[in-house]
Structure 1
Amino acid sequence: MRLTVAQALVRFLSAQYTERDGGRHRLIAGMWGVFGHGNVAGVGQALLEAGPEAMPFHQGRNEQAMVHAAVGYARTRHRLSAMACTTSIGPGATNLVTGAALATVNRIPVLLLPGDVFATRPADPVLQQLEVAWAGDVSVNDALRPVSRYFDRIWRPEMLGPSLLQAVRVLTDPAETGAVTLALPQDVQAEAYDFPDGLFAERVWPVRRPCPEPSALAEAARLLRSARRPLIVAGGGVRHSEAAAALAGFAAATGIPVAETQAGKGALRWDHPQCLGGVGHTGTAPANAVARQADVVLGIGTRWTDFTTASGSLFAPDTRFVNLNVAAFDGAKQDGLALVGDARAGIEALAEELAGFRAPPCAVSTRAWHALTESVFRGTYRPEPVAGPQEPGPQEPPRSGGLSQGEVVGALDAVLADRDVIVNAAGSLPGDLHKLWRARDPEQYHVEYGFSCMGYEIPAAIGVKLAAPDREVFALVGDGTYLMLPTEVVTAVQEGVAITVVIVQNHGYASIGGLSEQVGAERFGTAYRFRAEDGTFTGEPLPVDLAANAASLGLEVHRARTAGELRAALTAARDSPRPAAVYVETDPSRPAPPPEAWWNVPVAETATRPAARSARTAYDRAAHDRTGLDRP
């Protein structure tokens, strides 16, 4: 069949499917694009010729945001269906790098199709070409190599078929998936070639559920049976494997308590008897209390990041780990016993091995924590005063008299239905949500904390809504995140994707402002304020009206000042058929409960300012007390 390379690419992608548990899914459900001279005559023309039934197209405004939307879609579809992104060469291609890193870090499939320089080199350099004196075959797309799970450059039409098969192999492999990049020289995109008809035959790629080795299962069961204080840590693999029901049954049968990572939150309903809530630096008091005493920990689908382990300080040195993970790389972490296999298949196999087993009763209750959460939601929570004299830094958080961020979370908790989805990624909200959110559905909590990328929320919410149109989707953003990447609001308006953007105005970077104060940097450079006479950003808050900005981009906007007004605004936005925004100003001086575990952020070892010296003293004490250095 004689087609251009771009036409063959689109035709091939339209015929690829995945299958798991008897359900078939289209692998590439659509393509996002921003067109320039590097892809308009190739991929652009091919999409037009194929038509929307063969390959639905979504018009992006920013290339990084397109990848975020694709990631939100693929995560919601449990990695069984994904999206592609096409860009021009030059800045369009390099804008993909951040999104690609996010996808690969989080093990989420996305296909990237950046344009590239001419293969035939009619002129050198061409527009937007990076010249490298020591290598003639390097372009800006090589920046995508370290953040891609598979990378190839299609120099000749003959390369397309074998490369596409390798690309799809990686996209559909639960252990290997992430960003896949096929760089497409712009002249090759438009070149015609006689492709074999077999390349375009419909293909179904099975996504299997490998079961761990029987000997490893037996050893894991032996360890869990011997445990006096066992704990399960549920990670994102539970969601990807659709293993929430299996985990709930396993926890109920064995009595083993369950703590959740950011990616795993929602694996159990918040009121399940074995659910302890979030674990680690942003976790709950009950989960971390159990983790500190645990002698055997079963990690399911977790990468064991520093927030989960509290920089390696949360678990005792003699704690034994069993890691059920489809990726052998993650299964070997924490010097654990690796159960390499699918999360759901592994849970079911472990349940058989542990038939009749019941763990000793957990001595830790969640009742007090739930009461604390209610007080945060009502606005009656007041943090305990810090012992000792406190000298406020020169850049204290502004006291607006507005709601606390915890009250905003409480209003969302009151308004959202069980199947509604919250999307977040960066700032202080991930910490508050991990502690406080009461997940009622495995898909409700969509927080990207592997890369914690500002700007993820709005485009990802669009991707979630496209993947699950029957769910209401709320993107939670602070003012810093909103200002960084609001562009896809226009896409939501254009395509009628009825998401709700909740804009939390706290006049700067609240999370990093708090961390800055903790590490002795005195909130330097974290507030959105005018310069004062001394040249520092300590003047009045900036008169920026983000609600007006959202309205100018086409959103239906609701403003709220009180908790009652916020609940009403959220309800109105939820019920609206249009994309909407809810704007609320918060008071950064009223934080949620503090972290329940340590996070290792090194502090200046020498300094002249008292705040930094005091912070270093606290850091040294924490490092000594919490990482086991003082234990024999």
Structure 2
Amino acid sequence: MSQPTSVRLTVAQALVRFLSVQYTERDGVRHRLIAGTWGIFGHGNVAGVGQALLEAGEDAMPFHQGRNEQAMVHAAVGHARQLNRLSAQAVTTSIGPGATNLVTGAALATVNRLPVLLLPGDYFATRPADPLLQQLEHPTEADVSVNDTLRPVSRYFDRVTRPQALIPSALNAMRVLADPAETGAVTLALPQDVQAEAYDWPAEFFADRVWHVRRPTSDPAELAEAVRAIRAAERPLIVAGGGVHHSEAEAALRALVDATGIPVASTQAGKGSLRHDHPADLGGIGHTGTAVCDDIARTADLVIGVGTRYSDFTTASGTLFQHPGVRFLNLNITAFDAHKLAARTLVCDAKAGLETLATALDGHRVDPAYEAEYGAGKERWEQLVTAAYRADDEHAVPTQTQVLGALDAVVGDDDVVINAAGSLPGDLHKLWRARSPRQYHLEYGYSCMGYEIPAAIGVQQATPGTPVWALVGDGTYLMMPTEIVTAVQEGLPVNLILIQNHGYASIGGLSESVGGERFGTAYRYRAADGTFSGAPLPVDLAANAASLGMDVLRAKTIRELREALGTARASDRPTCVYVETGTGGPSAPPAEAWWDVPVAETASRAAAVEAREEYDREVATRRHHL
């Protein structure tokens, strides 16, 4: 009996069926490319994509119910990062505010080079009603919709205005999602009438399709030049970025370092590329880096970037690398990133490139005196970490660094610690002892408040059974606690550490350092003079988390905190550990490198005048590496 050559389905039904049979393959291992779909339904997608998901069923396309559109994207990003970009999730929303709420999450995904598929509803293609509910009426461009806000933050964007246009658009969407050099947010805007329109689709459109995730190797000429540069360097330093993890290149990096003795600094995305106790692991680099790492960076004559974007924090806004003859060599799968800082380039996959480089450098090793120097610095820094974690009085209110110390004592090698914003990224980058490649999960490309809780859900979905910890301050918690409800609904035992410090503590400290005098950063009542300097607000965030369905453990002392963290890790339910931190004990060492935050050039207040004088001194050391 002959097979049918076409299948009659709606556009939405066809899209869901197509997505259910897309796969990635790397190193012989296959993953579903679109592992599930997050959704909040409204008039722009309920009768189209919503009906299609219902008809397809959970086996074909698992569905996850969200509470906030931005949070759904964050959850999908957490899932993709945990699985090294080999699997993604889709997010569907209605038109109007549901669609525009995707923009922040899309920007986060694209900035961090992480795949997510966005399926926002759009206005009628046939325009039977004009204006439609929630329609943006542009007076001179009638084809503009609010979804056009997603264009600059998407790696690929299309509006599918006819059924047959879905075929090339869907294929291009999968190509971008699966391409490690192109990936990011992908948007297919779907007019609500087109979603429900039927069409006779070629059966081949629904055949299993495997997208090979390539590992391009280095160009021979580039490799030869890179080898010459490394052999000639006296003080080389590797900067490991997120690309090391995405490529699963940790073992290749360790082999190269073991053979050559070149030390490794890590960006926020790259931390954990080496275990914290490896002799060559110097920890974080840049404004939030360790003293030993930044000291070595200042005198490095060759900086070897592996899978890094070189953000201003990593480079200390252009002031960190001070050797007069410093040069850069960048190994990156994306030519755009490889060429940063006027570098020599190795445009290739991180794992393939590191393996080839190790072979070509056979027999080369840095001077033993250099190894002894950075080894002694690493030992001194470890003593500072121990001091910051130390808790001599079990009945004292813990400081933020003591909270990290208590967590360090509880977690296992496979636990995942998630954070994105506030003062915690700096403390974690300096102090956290990463024990495995995926333990340290910091979203610092976009540093988006509210990322942590939904990302923890995405990580938990990607690797069931993995203990996951979302670390948030009160400011971040208030941004986006909504997906706690999703964790409860899905029975995902994510752990939330909620630190109460009564305001935007991180920006308060920054404000003070740049002459802003902590203006507008405290969560307090107004005082008689109109400033926010009265009593702390009487909010109870622990009660709020409990009201959303979490088990809540309140910890007032260091001892109670340790007990609560152990209980949370052993629980099979979403659990919040709530702790109000103090200021009388150990804290993280100060920043070891400068960060450029422009200060008012003229001001009448003394704090701003003094801050500008300091700014002028620091900015004078900035370099353009050419």
| Interval containing the TM-score (normalised by the shorter chain) | over 0.9
- Cα drift, residue 470 of structure 1: 2.6
For 2:71 and 2:492, the matched residues in 1 are separated by 15
Matched, 1:516 2:523: no
Residue from 581, 596, 615 that aligns with 1:600: 596
Residue from 341, 357, 361 that aligns with 1:354: 361
Alignment correspondent of 1:388: none
Using the size of structure 1 for normalisation, the TM-score is 0.95
SS of residue matched to 1:520: coil
Shift >3 Å, 4+ stretches: 588-591
For 1:312 and 1:628, the matched residues in 2 are separated by 5
Query: Contact conserved, 1:421 with 1:443, CA < 8 A, in 2?
Result: yes
What are the Cα deviations for residues 143-193 of structure 1, in whole angstroms up to 9, with x where unaligned?
A: 000000000000000100010000000000000000000000000000000
- Cα drift, residue 419 of structure 1: 0.5
Judged with a 3 Å threshold, the aligned counterparts in structure 2 of structure 1 residues 600 and 379 are, in CA distance, closer, same or farther, namely farther
Query: Contact conserved, 1:379 with 1:404, CA < 8 A, in 2?
Result: no
- Cα drift, residue 380 of structure 1: 7.2
For 1:99 and 1:269, the matched residues in 2 are separated by 30
Alignment correspondent of 2:154: 148
- Cα drift, residue 359 of structure 1: 1.1
Residue from 606, 612, 617 that aligns with 2:608: 612
1:6-45 alignment, distance < 5 Å: 6-45=12-51
- Cα drift, residue 232 of structure 1: 0.5
Alignment correspondent of 1:233: 239
1:325-336 alignment, distance < 5 Å: 325-336=332-343
Instruction: Tell me which amino acid in the other structure corresponds to 1:440.
Output: R
Matched, 1:164 2:170: yes
- Cα drift, residue 379 of structure 1: 4.6
Instruction: Tell me which amino acid in the other structure corresponds to 1:374.
Output: T
What are the Cα deviations for residues 107-146 of structure 1, in whole angstroms up to 9, with x where unaligned?
A: 0000000000000101110001000001010000000000
For 1:39 and 1:628, the matched residues in 2 are separated by 51
For 1:570 and 1:434, the matched residues in 2 are separated by 21
Instruction: Tell me which amino acid in the other structure corresponds to 1:189.
Output: Q
What are the Cα deviations for residues 445-476 of structure 1, in whole angstroms up to 9, with x where unaligned?
A: 00000000000000000000101113100000
In the alignment of these two chains, the number of paired residues is: 611
For 2:120 and 2:236, the matched residues in 1 are separated by 48
Instruction: Tell me which amino acid in the other structure corresponds to 1:42.
Output: G
Instruction: Tell me which amino acid in the other structure corresponds to 2:596.
Output: N
1:563-602 alignment, distance < 5 Å: 563-587=558-582, 591-602=587-598
Q: Percent identity?
A: 70
SS of residue matched to 1:242: coil
For 1:278 and 1:257, the matched residues in 2 are separated by 12
Residue from 258, 270, 276 that aligns with 2:282: 276
1:310-389 alignment, distance < 5 Å: 310-316=316-322, 317-361=324-368, 362=370, 363-364=373-374, 365=376, 366-379=378-391
- Cα drift, residue 564 of structure 1: 1.5
Instruction: Tell me which amino acid in the other structure corresponds to 1:355.
Output: D
Instruction: Tell me which amino acid in the other structure corresponds to 2:588.
Output: A
- Cα drift, residue 567 of structure 1: 1.1
- Cα drift, residue 627 of structure 1: 2.0
Alignment correspondent of 2:293: 287
SS of residue matched to 1:523: coil
Residue from 455, 458, 467 that aligns with 2:453: 458
- Cα drift, residue 427 of structure 1: 0.3
Residue from 384, 389, 406 that aligns with 1:411: 406
For 2:312 and 2:584, the matched residues in 1 are separated by 27
| The 10-residue stretch of structure 1 (556-565 or 494-503) with the greater mean CA deviation from structure 2 | 556-565
What are the Cα deviations for residues 275-299 of structure 1, in whole angstroms up to 9, with x where unaligned?
A: 0000000000000011000001111
For 1:566 and 1:426, the matched residues in 2 are separated by 22
For 1:237 and 1:538, the matched residues in 2 are separated by 44
Query: Contact conserved, 1:510 with 1:588, CA < 8 A, in 2?
Result: no
SS of residue matched to 2:355: helix
Alignment correspondent of 1:472: 467
Matched, 1:85 2:102: no
Instruction: Tell me which amino acid in the other structure corresponds to 2:479.
Output: M
Matched, 1:544 2:539: yes
Alignment correspondent of 1:438: 433
For 1:379 and 1:451, the matched residues in 2 are separated by 33
Matched, 1:494 2:506: no
- Cα drift, residue 622 of structure 1: 1.6
For 2:220 and 2:582, the matched residues in 1 are separated by 54
Instruction: Tell me which amino acid in the other structure corresponds to 1:8.
Output: A
For 2:536 and 2:258, the matched residues in 1 are separated by 51
What is the root-mean-square deviation of aligned Cα atoms in Å? 1.4
For 2:243 and 2:623, the matched residues in 1 are separated by 29
SS of residue matched to 2:258: helix
Gaps of 5+ in 2: 1-6
What are the Cα deviations for residues 289-345 of structure 1, in whole angstroms up to 9, with x where unaligned?
A: 110000011110000110000001101252111100000000000100110000000
Instruction: Tell me which amino acid in the other structure corresponds to 1:253.
Output: A
Gaps of 5+ in 1: 382-400
- Cα drift, residue 587 of structure 1: 2.5
For 2:229 and 2:619, the matched residues in 1 are separated by 30
Instruction: Tell me which amino acid in the other structure corresponds to 2:592.
Output: E
Query: Contact conserved, 1:86 with 1:113, CA < 8 A, in 2?
Result: yes
Matched, 1:4 2:10: yes
Query: Contact conserved, 1:506 with 1:585, CA < 8 A, in 2?
Result: yes
Instruction: Tell me which amino acid in the other structure corresponds to 2:110.
Output: T
SS of residue matched to 1:194: strand
Query: Contact conserved, 1:113 with 1:184, CA < 8 A, in 2?
Result: yes
For 2:65 and 2:408, the matched residues in 1 are separated by 33
Residue from 122, 135, 142 that aligns with 1:129: 135
Query: Contact conserved, 2:161 with 2:194, CA < 8 A, in 1?
Result: yes
Query: Contact conserved, 1:326 with 1:341, CA < 8 A, in 2?
Result: yes
For 1:426 and 1:617, the matched residues in 2 are separated by 28
For 1:549 and 1:67, the matched residues in 2 are separated by 23
Instruction: Tell me which amino acid in the other structure corresponds to 1:613.
Output: V
Using the size of structure 2 for normalisation, the TM-score is 0.96
- Cα drift, residue 92 of structure 1: 0.1
- Cα drift, residue 618 of structure 1: 1.1
